Every structure is written in structure tokens, then in C-alpha cells.
């Protein structure tokens, strides 16, 4: 029997309950692929999503999905590029599995209804992105790959709307995991921002929980992630006692449309595929500063390009660099990059005739909730999939367009594991242990969000040092002292701020400990990669309310 208390966000007691076999949190490629596959095997599934079904991170993905689909390309070459980008920290078995199962998973996605761009002969068109030595990125709608994948999966889910074994709850923020007396998953609590039967805080009793909540980009001031990406899955997992790993490796996308020094929240992405098709990075003098820095120049892995841009910004005192795609011409821009063209024009920039101002912004969490190759976390019955997970495929830096592929391949593996366990009678219903004392986590004020973002951007952003991170630790600690005079009322904004704070604290603790520069973790005070001491992973857990990094 586990006697320690359980940590939960301050929240009203559940006012409603429901029961299912599998609850999937998130409606991107990872969540919906898992849900459709477990349902096809006859298990009941409940999908919980924070906004609408089609509003997760997946729909914002532009470039595409990487897989060895082209003539002459092989999973082995895809593996090589992934390992190089991961800077010594990829789990080779996980990568091998990803690149080997990837092409089949993409074909199954096509069978589900996703329409990729094809040439006149009907062959899938492939582009290049940073770190890939070959054209192997399948895309859709030119630069709207995520939107097409999301459309196809959402439509497949809607096709089974009348199926009583599938339930959807939109506009719901997941709060905490429910566990039984042995610490195994028994379901979760959530808050539905709606009206009617499912309104307010409720509890879902389930035999397995799959976290597919996406990223944590909102920890920083400027990010390509949507507003819902507040690290809720990582925070829930930490409170539930799960291990998270590699959190220090946050990828900053090199080319995000620069909208001014005070731009905050989600920023428009300028896909790496624009460089893949031949756009150049230049400074204000027109110098192609990436040439000579790496054999692939502008198409080096994205940590190298983000560093190249940041370095040039420092050297020249500029607030941004430029992307030059004027030589593409109107037809290419309109057909290949319609989303980016429209987005630039809506901000008064015409890429046909003007340089596009760009700067790095937080884009992707390479780490997350640690899982094995079947998506199991360290808490029995809790799975993690997609950006929220750390499967080992990304190492210290994700290779471009490997994320949709990871979501897809691991979702299939998780669904198969759940189906197999059910068949073997190992997926038993569990009852929440109501005897263990609950330690209530006090909530932060809604306004803390902006301060967390400010502290993290200045201290733990693209460039880090012991001093900058110590200042971040101090800034975060100051926020964690709840005001005894003020009781923060549980609501979406206070829960989100509290989650962001926990994730920011865990990320900073890991980044401070790793005294080297590797992949997307760039320390000014430890500028070299140190394989002797640091070719290893940092794992973080929450023990009795304190973060422990090992």
C-alpha cells in the first residue's frame, strides 16, 4: 500500500463522473490516432481536448512529416540524420523503430484520408528541411500539412460520432491523475468550460490514460505554439509522480516572423521548407552568414541555424535577420507556401518583393514525460505520446518534421499495447484510492503567466548561463510564495499559471545542472559539448513537493 499523500491542484470536488476504458487527453495527431485505433479494437474511448477538436498544435505544423518514402532513400539514412541532429542523446532503438515503422504509418494515415501533395504522376512530393540530407518531407496544401492531417483525423472521428463507444469532451482542461491504492492509474479529473451535463470539475474513471497534450511553448514570451500549450501534461505527470526527462532541450525555431521586440504569445512560423526550397538567410547588409558555418549552410540542423542567427544578431546589434525568397516568384509562393504568403502579407510584408524579418522563438520541447518504446510512463496505466512525451527519438534536438511522425508511430504502438493488455486481461478497472491524504497545491494568480514568460525568456531562452538561470530560479521562487492574504480562486487561468510555473521550474533546474552546450541547450558559460560528463539524460521527479533532477 502506498501511504504518501497525493498532490493535486486546488480544485472543487468533482461534480460529475463518467466511466470509459481509455481516456485520451489531446486531439492532435497523437491523440486522435490512438483514439481511433483503440476504438477500432472495440474499447470505449473518451477524448478530452482543451479547445475544439481541430485546434491542437498539429494543425499549426507547416513543413510536413518526414519518412523514407522517396526513391533511393532508406530508413537507415533517416536514422543517420536523426542521430546527428540529436547530438549524442537519441535512443538509437527508439529512432530505428521510428524510421522503420514511419513509412507504413504514413501510408495508413493516407488511408485514413490525409491528402499529401503529389506530382503529375501521382507520386508524393517530397521537400527538404534542416538536417536532412535528402528530400524526405511529405507535405500537404503546400505549407498546411498539419491542418490537412488534423482535418483527416477529425473527420474520421466525426464519422463515428454516433458510436456510443466514443465520447468527446471539448473545452476541457485536464487537472490531475486519479490513482488506486497501488499508485496505478484509475482515471483523471478535469474541468469543462461548458454548460449542461458536463460542466465544471468532473472525474473520468478509466483503465488507461493517454497524455497527448502537446507542448509547453507558452512557458516563453514568444512561441510558435498555440495559447493552449501550457505544459499541462508534463505538470500533471510530475504531480502524479511520473519521471520527466530532457526538459532542458527546448528547440527554438530559427525562422519565426519577427513582429517587433514586444511581440508576445503565438507568432507566425516561416517553415524550414522555405529554406529547403532555396530561400537564403541574410543580415541587413545582405550577407549570407550561414555559409561557411556548416556544410549544409541554411539547412544545417535547426539548433545550429538558431545559434547562427542569434550570434549574428549579437554581432550586428540587430533585433532580427532576414529570409530572402524573392527569387521564388509569385507562382511558387502561391502554390507551395500559400499559408506563409498570406501570413506575411497580413503583417504588411510581401515576400515576393521584400525580405522577411525573422528571429528564433520557442518551438518544440524535445523532452517531456519519459516513456519506453510502447509509450508507458513510470506510472502504471499512464501513457504519453507526441510532444508531451520523451520517447528518446529526439535526443538533444529534434530533426525537422520528425514530430508528426513520432506522434503517429507511437500512437499506434500505444494503442496496440492497450489492446494487447486488454486481450490478456491486464487492463483491469481500478478504483481511486480515497483514503490517501491529498496535499493541495495552492494556485498562482492568473497574472503570473506573463511574469513566468518574462523570467524564462530572459533567463532560460535561446542563450543561457549560470547567472541568467540563477536569476530565473529567483524570479520563479518569488512567484511560488502564495500571498497569505489572497486565496487564488480555481479557474482555468490560475490552473494554467500553476502548471506553467511547475514546468518552468523543472526546465530551469535541468538546464542549470547541465553544464555544457549540446543540441538546443546553449550555455554561454559552458560553450563546448562535454561527452565525458554529460552524454546522459537528466530525469526530473517531484518528491514531496520538491523537484529532484538526477
Q: What residues make contact with ligand SIN under the rule CB under 6 A?
A: 62-63, 271-273, 364, 400-401, 403
Alpha-carbon 199 to chain mean position: 28
Are 214 and 388 within 8 A, CB to CB?
yes
Q: Taking the complex as a whole, how short is the minimal distance between the CB of residue 512 and ligand SIN, in angstroms?
A: 26
Rounded (5°) CA angle 342-346-352: 55
User: Please, which residue, 62 or 499, has the CB nearer to ligand SIN?
Assistant: 62
E strand intervals along 16-133 = 16-19, 22-25, 45-48, 65-66, 126-127
Given the complex with ligand SIN, which of 61 and 206 has the nearer CB atom?
61
Asked if 424 contacts 405 with a C-beta cutoff of 8 angstroms, the reply is no
Report the residue closest to ligand SIN, judged by CB. 63
Beta bridge partners of 483: none
For ligand SIN, the closer CB: 31 or 63 = 63
Q: Which residue, 20 or 213, is less far from ligand SIN as judged by CB?
A: 213
- Let me know: does 67 contact 106? Beta carbons within 8 Å: yes
Measured N-to-C along each axis, helices 466-480 and 448-459 cross at an angle, to the nearest 10 degrees, of: 170
> Toward ligand SIN, which CB reaches closer, 232 or 272?
272
- Backbone phi, psi, residue 400, to 5°: -50, 140
Paired sense of beta strands 244-245 and 368-370, if any: antiparallel
Cα 102 from Cα 115, distance rounded (Å): 17
Q: Which is nearer to ligand SIN, 401 or 494 (CB)?
A: 401
Q: What cell numbers appear for 45 in the block?
A: 474511448
* Residue 149 C-beta: closest distance to ligand SIN, Å: 13
Q: Are 388 and 246 in contact (CB under 8 A)?
A: no
Q: Which of 302, 312, 370, 464 is catalytic?
A: 302
> Of 46, 41, 49, 53, nearest to 22 (Cα)?
46
302 included as an active-site residue: yes
Q: What is the nearest approach in angstroms of ligand SIN to the Cβ of residue 363?
A: 6
The grid cell for 108 is 495508413
Cβ 113 to ligand SIN, closest distance in Å? 22
C-beta of 215 vs 459, nearer to ligand SIN: 215
Alpha helices in 277-393 (DSSP H): 302-316, 329-336, 338-346
In the block, residue with C-alpha cell 506530382 = 119
**Pair 102, 70: CB distance under 8 Å:** no
Rounded to 5°, angle at Cα 326 from 323 and 327: 120
Q: How far is CA 481 from the centre of its chain?
A: 29
Query: Cell for 257?
Result: 516572423
Catalytic residue positions, numbered: 302
Amino acid at each position: 500500500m502506498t501511504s504518501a499523500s497525493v498532490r493535486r491542484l486546488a480544485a472543487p470536488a468533482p461534480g460529475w463522473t463518467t466511466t470509459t476504458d481509455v481516456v485520451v487527453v489531446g486531439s492532435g495527431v497523437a491523440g486522435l490516432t490512438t483514439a481511433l485505433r483503440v476504438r477500432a479494437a472495440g474499447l470505449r474511448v473518451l477524448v478530452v481536448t482543451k479547445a475544439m477538436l481541430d485546434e491542437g498544435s498539429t494543425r499549426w505544423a507547416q513543413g510536413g512529416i518526414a519518412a523514407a518514402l522517396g526513391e533511393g532513400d532508406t530508413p537507415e539514412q533517416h536514422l543517420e540524420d536523426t542521430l546527428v541532429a540529436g547530438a549524442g542523446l537519441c535512443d538509437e532503438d527508439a529512432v530505428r523503430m521510428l524510421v522503420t515503422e514511419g513509412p507504413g504509418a504514413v501510408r495508413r494515415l493516407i488511408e485514413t484520408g490525409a491528402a499529401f501533395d503529389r506530382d503529375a504522376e501521382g507520386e508524393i512530393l517530397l521537400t527538404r528541411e534542416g538536417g536532412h540530407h535528402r528530400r524526405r518531407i511529405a507535405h500537404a496544401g503546400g505549407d498546411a500539412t498539419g491542418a490537412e492531417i488534423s482535418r483527416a483525423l477529425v473527420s474520421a472521428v466525426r464519422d463515428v460520432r454516433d458510436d456510443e463507444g466514443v465520447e468527446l469532451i471539448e473545452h476541457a482542461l485536464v487537472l490531475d491523475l486519479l490513482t488506486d491504492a497501488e499508485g496505478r492509474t484509475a482515471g483523471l479529473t478535469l474541468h469543462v468550460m461548458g454548460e449542461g451535463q458536463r460542466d465544471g470539475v468532473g472525474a473520468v474513471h478509466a483503465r488507461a490514460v493517454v497524455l497527448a497534450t502537446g507542448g509547453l511553448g507558452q512557458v516563453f514570451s514568444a512561441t510558435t505554439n498555440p495559447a493552449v500549450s501550457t505544459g499541462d501534461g508534463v505538470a500533471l505527470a510530475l504531480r502524479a509522480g511520473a519521471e520527466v526527462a530532457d526538459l532542458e532541450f527546448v528547440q527554438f525555431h530559427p525562422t519565426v516572423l519577427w513582429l517587433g521586440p514586444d511581440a508576445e504569445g503565438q507568432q507566425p512560423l516561416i517553415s524550414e521548407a522555405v529554406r529547403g526550397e532555396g530561400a537564403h538567410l541574410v543580415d541587413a547588409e545582405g550577407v549570407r552568414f550561414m555559409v561557411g558555418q556548416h556544410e549544409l549552410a541554411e539547412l544545417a540542423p535547426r539548433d545550429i541555424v538558431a545559434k547562427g542567427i542569434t550570434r549574428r544578431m549579437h554581432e550586428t546589434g540587430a533585433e532580427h535577420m532576414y529570409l530572402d525568397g524573392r527569387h521564388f516568384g509569385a507562382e511558387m509562393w502561391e502554390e507551395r507556401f500559400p499559408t506563409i504568403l498570406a501570413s506575411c502579407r497580413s503583417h504588411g510584408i510581401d515576400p515576393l518583393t521584400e525580405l522577411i524579418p525573422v528571429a528564433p522563438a520557442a518551438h518544440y520541447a524535445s523532452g517531456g514525460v519519459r516513456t519506453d518504446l510502447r509509450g508507458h510512463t513510470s506510472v502504471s496505466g499512464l501513457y504519453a505520446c507526441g510532444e508531451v512525451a520523451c520517447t528518446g527519438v529526439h535526443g538533444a534536438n529534434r530533426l525537422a518534421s520528425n514530430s508528426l511522425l513520432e506522434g503517429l508511430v507511437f500512437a499506434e504502438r500505444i494503442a496496440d499495447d492497450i489492446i494487447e493488455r486488454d486481450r490478456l486481461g491486464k487492463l483491469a478497472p481500478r478504483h481511486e484510492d480515497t483514503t490517501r491524504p491529498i496535499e493541495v497545491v495552492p494556485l498562482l494568480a492568473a497574472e503570473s503567466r506573463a511574469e513566468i514568460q518574462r523570467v524564462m525568456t530572459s533567463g532560460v531562452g535561446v542563450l543561457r548561463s549560470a547567472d541568467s538561470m540563477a536569476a530565473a530560479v529567483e524570479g520563479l521562487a518569488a512567484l511560488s510564495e502564495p500571498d497569505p492574504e489572497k486565496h487564488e480562486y480555481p479557474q482555468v487561468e490560475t490552473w494554467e499559471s500553476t502548471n506553467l510555473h511547475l514546468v518552468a521550474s523543472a526546465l530551469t533546474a535541468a538546464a542549470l545542472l547541465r553544464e555544457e552546450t549540446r543540441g538546443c541547450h546553449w550555455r554561454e558559460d559552458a560553450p563546448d559539448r562535454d561527452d565525458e560528463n554529460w552524454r546522459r539524460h537528466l530525469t526530473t521527479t517531484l518528491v514531496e513537493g520538491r523537484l529532484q533532477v538526477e
